[in-house]
Each structure stands twice: as C-alpha cells, then as structure tokens.
Amino acid sequence: MKKLRVGLIFGGRSVEHEVSLTSARAVLEHLDPARYDVVPIGVTRKGRWLTSADAKSLLGDELLEEAGTRVALTADPEIGGLVPVENGQARVGLDVVFPLIHGTGGEDGSLQGLLELAGMAYVGSGVLGSSLGMDKIAMKAAFTVAGLPTVPYLSFTRHRIETGLEIVTGEIETGIGFPCFTKPANGGSSVGIRKIHGAGELEEGLREAARYDRRVLVEQGIDGQEVECAVLGNETPEASVIGEIIPCREFYDYSAKYLEEGSELVVPARLPARTAGLVREMALSAFKAIDAAGMARVDFFVRRTDGGIFVNEINTIPGFTPISMYPRLWEASGVGFSRLLDRLIALALERHQERTATRREWTPELPARGASTMSRRDD
C-alpha cells in the first residue's frame, strides 16, 4: 500500500502556539509510520513556514527558525505542496494536510481558505465552519437559529468599550448581572477570559478581553457542570461518550488546563442517562449548525438547579495534547488515538473528493437562431 504524505502544520502566531506544539507531538507519536510519511510544517511566531527531515527538531520546547528550512504553501493548485523559499531546495508534494494550529490564523478559516485555494485535502472543517466555530458571537447566533439554548450574553466592540465604557458597564449590569464572564470573541484555551464577581472587576475584565480581539463577549455566569462531547464525521457525524471537567481553579482557565495540577477529567460524566443522551444529540446539532466537518469538541453547561443544558461553544480544532478531552473521549468510546487519526485523514480525503465534484465552470446556453434575446417578465 502506497503511504500517504501528510503535512502536519503546527505552531502559528496565536497565543496558543505552545499548545499547538504539544498537540503536534502527540499526533506525530500516534501516526502509523507504515501508513504515512509525515512532513512537519512549523509556523513560527513571526509567521515563517519551516520544514525539516527530522520532525522532532521542529517540535522542541520552542519552534526555532534555525531548526528547519523555509518553505511556502502557495494558492496554486497545480503545485500541490510546499515550495522552496531558497534555491537548492526541492518541492515537497502533499496528499493531505493536518492543521493543528489552534486559535487565530489556524482555526478561524484563514488557513482553510489557503488550503482551499491550493486545492488540497485537509483534516477538519472548511472555511465557513472554521470561521463560525472560532467567533463566539457568530457561533451563538448560528446556535440560536438552530434552536439550541445558549447562556444569555451581550457583545461589544473594542471601540465601544474605549469610547463608552460607562454605558457598556451599565448595559452589562442591567442585562447580564453578576457573576459573568468577559471573553475575546475569537480565541481559545481560555486566554483573555475573566470571571467577574462584581462591578468593581468589570472594567479590567473588558479591557483584558479587548487586548486579544476587537470584539468582546460577556456571558452570564451559570452554576453548572462543565461537560464536553466529541464529534467525528462529515455528513453523518457520530458523538462520543460525555466527559466532565472539574477544574482545580474557580473556572477552567489556561492555568487550570495546562499549568497546574489538580483539574479532573471524568469520563463518563456524572450525568443521568437521559441528560447524557440529550447532550450527545445537541452536540451533533451544534456540529451541523455551523457546517463543521471531520472533528469538533462541543462544550456544555448543565445547570445544577434544574438540569438545564446550555451549549457553550464548539472547537473545530480541539486539543490533541496528552491531557486533551477529544482523544480521551474517543478512547472511552472505543476508538484509540491512532485509529482516530486514521479516521480523520480518511474523512479529509472524503470531503476533498466531494469538493472536487462541485462544478467550477458554466457556459450559458445561447438562444436558438431567430429567437428573441430579450427576457420576458411575467406580470
């Protein structure tokens, strides 16, 4: 069997650069070398693209420019891979790309747009699904249209916060109340998110979120269990068992996820069977609502007082680190890490084949000789 050449893209210019490297190390470790030739593609914090014959040299504690040679991915579909930036390098063809850049520049549709222009097969959602999955405000709008319950929220631009802070804080106090959460609309790994307990913390929370995006989301705080469901598939997606997050801090922030010990990931979640079934159904609905593909992790709150379920967000490039919930949930559902990667690559090739079936050319039919070329409007 001919091995597939897989371009593994990681790093990037987002605040989740280190998380991306950790995900890439885990994926590299579990990709079957008998089935795949892996081409590592590291994107530095400056945005330079590097590759190397030795993948591990690019996946140290930091992505260093001297660890690889510079390449570029062009939008020309006839190239079909990486092109050298310097003379003397050879072009590197790719069969499929596995994007593992978390956050902006990798998960928001921009990288997917480049891969679309290049005519390449790639793992995960397309431009639309990626964009909607990254922008929490647009995402919630899509969920609302699909009839999915979300936590009450308000949204503001950085400009409004800077020029009308008093009005903004008044709207939040009246419309949302406390506790609440201030979040950048685009971002991941809880970077820039703060839990606001009262009016005295609101200004700094808004300014912190606005440092990471020009649009800010303010959500009402919910006393509930944090549970997650993994989704796998294209047109007929499947939902995993449900997992539960028990953070070691007041909420599941960056430190609780990656820096401190003590957070618990409970699989399966401590939920009644009926609630767990509803969460799985809603995860599939959320996946379809944004036109996701391949993979996603959908996060929920289950309110403690009455068991009400709220969709929090969907992540179209979930973490693949050793502690990440996405591979753990599929492991608990009977799909091991290596088999999961095989499925994702097969789904990428399937979706690419579907894309190529779409017609790109159209020739209008000319009117018959002697027929009028004027269109007639029916009253």
Q: State yes or no: pLDDT of 169 exceeds 80.
A: yes
Has residue 22 got a pLDDT over 90? yes
Enter the tokens of residue 206.
Answer: 């808004």
Give the CATH number for residue 204. 3.30.1490.20
Q: Report DSSP letters for 127-181, one per residue.
A: HHHHHHHHBHHHHHHHHHHTT-----EEEEEHHHHHH-HHHHHHHHHHHT-SSEE
The yes-or-no verdict on residue 255 having pLDDT over 60 is no
Q: Whole-angstrom Cα distance, residue 20 to residue 360?
A: 35
pLDDT above 50: residue 350: yes
Q: What is the mean pLDDT of the chain?
A: 90
Number of domains in the chain: 3
The pLDDT assigned to 103 comes to 86
CB 265 within 8 A of CB 244: yes
The structure's pTM equals 0.89
> E strands, the chain, where?
4-11, 36-43, 49-51, 69-73, 81-84, 92-93, 96-99, 153-157, 180-184, 194-196, 215-220, 224-233, 238-246, 264-266, 294-303, 309-315
What band does 209 get if pLDDT is binned at 50, 70 and 90?
very high
The pLDDT value given to residue 156 = 97
Q: Identify which of 44-48, 127-131, 182-186, 368-372 has the greatest average pLDDT.
A: 127-131
- 83 within a domain of the structure (yes/no): yes
Q: Do 263 and 189 sit in the same domain of this protein? A: no
Looking at the fold, whether 256 and 332 belong to one and the same domain comes out as: yes
Between these two residues, 70 and 263, which has the higher pLDDT value?
A: 70
Same-domain status, 113 and 13: yes
Q: Which residue has the higher pLDDT, 125 or 60?
A: 125
Per DSSP bridges, beta strands 153-157 and 264-266 are unpaired
Is residue 372 situated within a structural domain? no
- The model's confidence at residue 334, banded by pLDDT at 50, 70 and 90, is very high
pLDDT of the residue at 349: 98
The reply to whether 109 and 228 lie within a common domain is: no
Pair (113, 212) in one structural domain = no
Tell me if 322 is assigned to some domain.
yes
pLDDT band at 376 (very low <50, low <70, confident <90, very high): very low
* Sequence-separated (6 or more) residues with CB below 8 Å from residue 177: 220
Predicted confidence band of residue 358 (pLDDT cuts 50, 70, 90)? confident
**Residue 156 located in a structural domain:** yes
The number of angstroms, rounded, from the C-alpha of 47 to the middle of its chain's C-alpha atoms is 19
Tell me what the mean pLDDT of segment 146-151 comes to. 97
pLDDT at 26 over 90: yes
CATH code where residue 80 lies = 3.40.50.20
* pLDDT bracket for residue 345 (50, 70, 90): very high
Q: Which of 187, 321, 192 is nearest to 257 (CA)?
A: 321
Query: 22 with 79, same domain?
Result: yes
Residue 244 and residue 191 share a domain: no
Domain's final residue, options 179, 204, 220: 220
333 domain-assigned:
yes
Same domain, 40 and 69: yes
- 176 with 286, same domain? no
Quick one: 262 and 345 in the same domain? yes
131 domain-assigned:
no
95 in the same domain as 80:
yes
Q: Are 131 and 109 in contact (CB under 8 A)?
A: yes
| Residue 134 domain flag | no
185: containing domain: 152-220
C-alpha to C-alpha distance for 361 and 131, rounded to whole angstroms: 26
pLDDT digits (tens, 9 = 90+) for 64-113: 777 788 999 999 998 888 988 876 677 889 999 999 999 889 999 999 99
% of residues, the chain, pLDDT over 70: 92
Does residue 179 share a domain with residue 80?
no
Give the CATH number of the domain where residue 302 resides.
3.30.470.20
The domain boundary, picked from 100, 122, 144, lies at: 122
371 lies in some domain: no
